Amino acid sequence: MKIKKIDALELASMIILFQLGSSIVLGMGMEAKKDAWMAIGIATVIGIAIHFCYVALYRAGGTGKTFTRILQDAFSRPIGVIIATLYYFYFLYLAARVTGDFAFFINEVILWSVSAWVIKLSILLLVAYVCYLDIETLGRSSQALTLIMLGFLILVIVFMFFLEDFEWNNLRPILEDGFSPIIKAVFPTLITFPFGEVIVFICYYQYLTKFSAFQKYGWLAVLISGLILIIIAVLNVGLLTADLAEFFTFPFMKTIEQINFLNFIRHLELLAVLVFTIGGLIKITIFSYAGIQGLAGIFKLKKKQKMIIPFLLAVYIISAAFMNNFVIHLYIGLKIVPLYVHLFFQFLIPISCLVILLAKMMVKKRKRRAVKT
């Protein structure tokens, strides 16, 4: 059976949509208030380093291998399988969280009278369809949708900078409260969400037609999404002030509402809901597809599509049963999960895995040299 593939540009597009995902609507880094843009900038640099760390992990594990196999090679077969299973359930939980994010977002902004469970079910039915069509469809769709999202964002950003209500003074003075708020915004929240979440893409490297091309230029996807989040933070504070941007649940949507170009171009927030929801849909699909493929491999299913329904049913149950209060949902997602869950899966395990694999490579090289001599 021919293995389906995606190219480096398609994977880069997936990363851009993935990182913008729920980050673009939630207003990241507002703990740093006026300096939110600076906090996101620092997190972006760290995010690029994280990306290279994950690429190095994949190379050390051996290109073409599944994430499960890489973990087995590092930690031995039984332990590696257990850790891999934990990762796939971690992706399941994150898929449920993002589903909750966008159900709340759509319910709050446009579909006020529709029950959240209906929105969640509708989203997951679309995710199931994309997962069934497989990786090539996901890659091609992401490439097209990235162009749509970037085009829309460029249009919105240009209009916003020319609004009379935009005040650069809202961003001054820089570092009014010192570096402490920036550090609190960056660690652990911003480095783990959204930048550390790219750990899921280790599951996708095996599908690349040319890993070498992605290895050279993949970091640009992280940079582009980071720059967009920086600009959005500047716009939110410049138009709303730092206090209002922190107060609103979806500050960028409130910012978009300010657009009124010559009394002709206005109410772009309706289009924004559609565009941003597409980004969220792709992010949920990326988490889900990785979890589905991984668990199907662990349970040795010949047809991996058989895992789609049970996996997404679990996503729906978790999201519907435990993510009904948005205030609690945000608190857990931005305060509890980054510290007690993300750091373990995004840093502790990958770094340990990389160190072990590099150590094993060094031991093998020494043995080869010893044999030659």
Q: Over the stretch 321-357, which tens digit does the pLDDT of each residue have?
A: 999 999 999 999 999 999 999 999 999 999 999 999 9
Residue 290 domain-assigned?
yes
Dist. CA 351–CA 300, nearest whole Å: 28
Cα torsion angle, 101, 104, 105, 111, sign = positive
pLDDT score recorded for residue 364:
86
**Nearest C-alpha neighbor of 281 from the set 145, 169, 165, 190:** 145
Dist. CA 293–CA 172, nearest whole Å: 48
pLDDT score recorded for residue 373:
65
Residue 2 domain-assigned?
no
**Nearest C-alpha neighbor of 43 from the set 252, 236, 192:** 192
Residue 3 domain-assigned?
no
Residue 94 domain-assigned?
yes
Give helix 36-61 / helix 349-372 axis angle, nearest 10°.
40
pLDDT score recorded for residue 250:
92
Q: Total domain count for the chain? A: 1
pLDDT score recorded for residue 214:
94
Dist. CA 131–CA 126, nearest whole Å: 9
Residue 34 domain-assigned?
yes
pLDDT score recorded for residue 171:
93
Residue 286 domain-assigned?
yes
CATH (domain of 56): 1.20.1740.10
Sheet strands (E) in the chain: 260-261, 265-266
pLDDT score recorded for residue 262:
63
Q: What is the pLDDT along the chain (373 residues), one digit of tens a residue?
A: 556 789 999 999 999 999 999 899 888 999 999 999 999 999 999 999 999 999 999 999 988 899 999 999 999 989 999 999 999 999 999 999 999 999 999 999 888 889 999 999 999 999 999 999 999 999 999 999 999 999 999 988 888 877 778 888 999 999 998 999 999 999 999 999 999 999 999 999 999 999 999 998 999 999 999 999 999 999 999 999 999 999 998 999 988 888 776 666 677 888 889 889 999 999 999 999 999 999 999 999 989 999 999 999 999 999 999 999 999 999 999 999 999 999 999 999 999 999 999 999 999 888 877 777 6
Residue 124 domain-assigned?
yes
pLDDT score recorded for residue 263:
66
Residue 73 domain-assigned?
yes
The model carries a pTM of 0.95
Q: How many CB atoms lie within 10 A of CB 304?
A: 18
Residue 17 sits in which domain range? 8-372
